[in-house]
Chains A and B, each alone.
Chain A
Amino acid sequence: MEMETLLKYEWGVMMPEFIILGVATILSLIDLFMPKDRNRRPLALFALTGVVVALVSLLSLLSVDVTSILGDTFRLDSFAKAFKVLLFLGGALVLLLSLHYEPQEGLLYRGEFYYLFLTALLGAMMMASSGDLITLFVGLELLSISSYILVGLRKKYALANESALKYVISGGIATAITLFGMSYIFGFTGTTNIKEIAQYLNETVDLGHQYVLALAFFLTLIGLSFKLAAAPFHMWAPDVYQGAPTPVTAFLSVVSKTAGFVIVLRLLVSVFAQIPAEGSNSPSMLLSLQDYIAFLAAVTMILGNTIALKQRNVKRMLAYSSIAHAGYVLVAFATLSMFMFDAVWFYLLAYLLMNFGAFAILQVVSAQSQSEDIQVFAGLYKRSPMMAVAMAIFLLSLAGIPGTAGFIGKVNIFLGAFVTEPAHYVLAAIMIATTVVSYVYYFGIFVQMFFRPVEDKRKIEWPIGIIVVVAVCAFGTILFGLFPSIAYDFLGQFDHFSDFLQ
């Protein structure tokens, strides 16, 4: 490539990525040259500052029109902007959680802990912005590989090693399946650029190839369902979540899942919504396949919510709950309504707030009792009333009780299932029924906190970072639950992501 063309690109649109990359690089260098015995906690604050600065630079880019650089491999459209906001919020909260994370045997590689979060975040950002299969895949792998290491960071802890290994193997299978699917797409079109793929398939595809294209669709969807922790690729989640350090678990269940939805929407909607369906009962191939997505969504909701009933380990329970929530978001995807992007974005925002809040409290409570059994919550209301009330807010939101962001998110998805033609009654019914099932296990924690006598009389120390996370999450959960229009006004500027395919 000519130097001239390279300089002509509007590199400014990649500013947030450059900031994160720069901060991660500097952190790794500092970590390398810092004396071994020095406290590495300040590095987390440095990383946090980086994320905040990147967020600010992203916000300054909000008004920029759709721009694509590097030969259409990197694009900044409203989809990328909106979801990157979520990724940054998640990243900032994760860093606050990890600031105070202290496993019982100590954390040997604290520096790596912080900059690996940043590289993982960078991968997720690339996925949100990529316009090409190659960058999409590179982003995906950057996120995955960083996460593999993060999960196994507690080297001397057997469960963490097991988790990391399981995660790598499952991830390998997932990558293979995804790549297999992508190779079909490439084979058909001869290009890796998503826009060109869409154009080519829309104009010249032979309807006789429908079956092979559907195969490509299923392969990519199943492969990517690994990142969502959705059926049938959900089984790694409980084992990995349980063994990983709590901030990493929070990261996997929120940021990584958000990135998963980003890539699913980016890839599947732009490619398969453009292929005319055979028989032309439905306008596009994606619509003709929506029953299959709905099926996966239903299975995911049912499995996640029912198996969660059996868990006593809160981290495992939250793992299954996170599977169930992936199912709810998949409902929005399956219905392919006009508000799909809005509904997914809002739900992921609500999920980010309530889930991070719950993990923050779990991290402190379980660290003190050296246990993750549900009993560690016994009598929390007596020990720290404010935290118990905050946890109650998160649980109510996770359960989708009115007045919380989780409720608004569910209502949006639910209404979306009704406004489409034909409406998805069965799917909506399953969503409601499984939501009712979920009350049982969420209220299990409730009962422990408010109605059980205190088991452990020691006072709980709440580190400042955790308090900030809990306060922000509780405030956001209530705020968006009572005044969702604030979030919708923010989304309003994107005009239903109409520039998605431009």
Chain B
Amino acid sequence: MMENAWLIPLFPLISFLLLLVVGKQLKERSAYVGMLLTFASFVGSLFVLNERLTMPTYKAEYVWLTIGTMKLTAGFEVSALNALMLLIVSLVSFLVHMYSKGYMHGDERFPVFYAYLGLFTFAMLGLVLSPNLLQTYIFWELVGLGSFLLIGFYFYKEEAKAAAKKAFIMTRIGDVGLLIGMILLFWQVGSFEYDEIFTAVANGDVSSSLLTLSAILIFVGAIGKSGQFPLHTWLPDAMEGPTPVSALIHAATMVAAGVYLVAALFPLYEASETAMMTVAIVGGFTAIFAASIGLVQKDIKRILAYSTVSQLGYMMLALGSAGYVAGVFHLMTHAFFKALLFLAAGSVIHAVHTQNIEEMGGLWRKMQLTAPLFLIGTLAISGFPLFSGFFSKDEILIAAWNHGHVGLFILAVIAAFFTAFYMFRLFFLVFTGEARLDAHHVHESPSVMTIPMMVLGVLAIGSGYVQTPWFGAFLGEWLTEGTHWHAHEEGPSWIMIVATMVSLLGIFVAWLMYGKKALARDWLSSRFPLLYNVLFNKYYVDEFYGSTVVYATKAVSILCQYIDRFLVEGMANLIAATASGIGRLGARLQNGQVQMYGTVTIIGLALLVVIFAVTGGYL
């Protein structure tokens, strides 16, 4: 099956083309076309993964273009990482296809939506099969296009239009870095092939300064796609797109592409300590930066968006700390639990028709499937013991600690606290307490929407067990086969305890602030009586936190938001203003009088001649 892996991306492409042509006739039956074809991709990915478990990496390519002595190739490669990504992408994509059948029901552009989903899935699957940088770049851009179309799907809304444009342009800024880095590498190595690049790096054919430069430039591309600071601003805005899109693109696939790129080029990064440090610092900073912003948001999807940014920061931190397995592992678990959270959030929005969590409340009883599933996702992302996020986050913390990044380690621990806090704040506000809106019409979503959530729920719990300190590092051993990378990070056991404590603390603080006043007392005390009593006696800590820590964190997060809004966006605006300023100046010279045109020409000519005379020493 591995030699036929190229078929996997073709199914969604067929779906895209088919729906473009006959979508109008099929109407909502388009969903079946999309589902069937992505399911075929999923089955194919399963077979490929199964085969790759026992067989070595498979690679096929042919010469695509010859310029002089340069040869550019095209093909595909099934490595362990690629096989894993294939499965994640095709599975989440299939589930989103299924979910959207319920969520997008009644939308007049229903077939178009499915066509776009097909295009995006094709691009993403193509991306994770690429054996060289050039092909990666092509699919990378195609992924960007798919995302642009999907974010702007509700184009009649001004915000959606602006968000689509912003996402496209912000990621393009990163792509410029990727392109330059890629070309620098090509110039040095003479090939875009991953294998040849790695061989050249290993042999020391690339000077260390250029290696660092190109690695960092490529990382700039990853920063853009994975919403890392300072190019993250597009991701929260991208929540204007339909919610299933957020689950597919902004949780599991496209934003993970940046992490994937760094992982796929890991030997390159490993060769440069500076590049590794950059990745780690950007990741660590983004993790806490985005988490602190998440604390004060009110829009359910925006909170999830900031949490995505923060979790991607974790993955970058892991990769930058030589934790290859940790980064990829968290990529996988995050894909499942974040997709689950987005789909569950979509289910909530579908029921209450608002995204403001302050207007929600008491939904636990009304949505008896969505609520527990959302809770599973929340527990997983908070790093609650025995859920998938617990194992992968642990691995990251140990990697950071082992690599000697103590400062970043502390940041990551604090970010873990924030994560637990804001996720449970979200949970309590939405599902517990008084119903804050007239909720007679609130009902559970149809089963076509809840089944994908259940599948993801199972994975959000179970996917952590492929790599645990207790049952062995199966995933790590498979991923690192044939390399010298650690299959599993051995770390002091107190790290796991600290991580657990921090996440429990976050949950507790959230409960004190948002859950306590209502039924929460019974709920917690019946399950964790000991913990409850200990914490109950510390009652005044609540107020203390309220007036100091929370206040301070709020201040920090508001500050961060201001940095975000004025400094980062300000700089972006400055660049845009410069371009349009030159444009205005040029347009003013264009006054419609032909004398002016002639004058400009003559002045230009005179200028060149004079400069030549002066620099050439003829005057």
Contacts and interface: CB of A to CB of B under 8 A. Distances in A.
Nearest to B74: A482
A235 B68 contact: no
A401 B171 CA distance: 14
A418 B594 contact: no
Interface string B50-76: 000000000000001111101000000
A437 interface: yes
B583 A447 contact: no
Contacts of A296: 608
B203 to A, nearest CB: 22
Contact of B618 (A211, A306, A342): A211
A341 interface: no
Given A418-B183, A443-B168, A451-B161, A214 B616 contact: yes
B179 interface: yes
Contacts of B613: 211
B534 interface: no
Interface in B138-175: 138, 141-142, 145, 152, 155-156, 161, 164-165, 168-169, 172-173
Contact of A432 (B64, B176, B603, B605): B176
A48 B397 CA distance: 71
Contacts of A423: 187
B601 A222 contact: yes
A170 B598 contact: yes
Contacts, number: 137
B584 interface: yes
A497 interface: no
B583 A218 contact: no
B172 A439 contact: yes
A302 B183 CA distance: 22
A36 interface: no
Contacts of B176: 432-433, 436
Nearest to A484: B65
A9 interface: no
A169 B594 contact: yes
Contacts of B589: 235
Given A177-B605, A218-B608, A219-B605, A310 B618 contact: no
B32 interface: no
A408 B137 CA distance: 13
Contact of B608 (A292, A414, A433, A451): A292
Contacts of B137: 402
B609 interface: yes
Nearest to B160: A451
A232 B165 CA distance: 33
B530 interface: no
A232 B603 contact: yes
B590 interface: yes
Given A309-B580, A402-B142, A437-B579, A451 B152 contact: yes
A134 interface: no
A488 B584 CA distance: 40
Contacts of A289: 612
Nearest to B586: A307
A50 B360 CA distance: 74
A443 B145 CA distance: 12
Interface in A231-268: 231-233, 235-236, 238-239
Given A232-B605, A450-B155, 20 more contacts: A211-B612, A218-B608, A218-B609, A222-B605, A226-B601, A233-B604, A236-B594, A236-B597, A278-B616, A296-B608, A305-B579, A309-B583, A401-B141, A401-B145, A415-B186, A436-B176, A439-B172, A443-B165, A443-B168, A483-B64
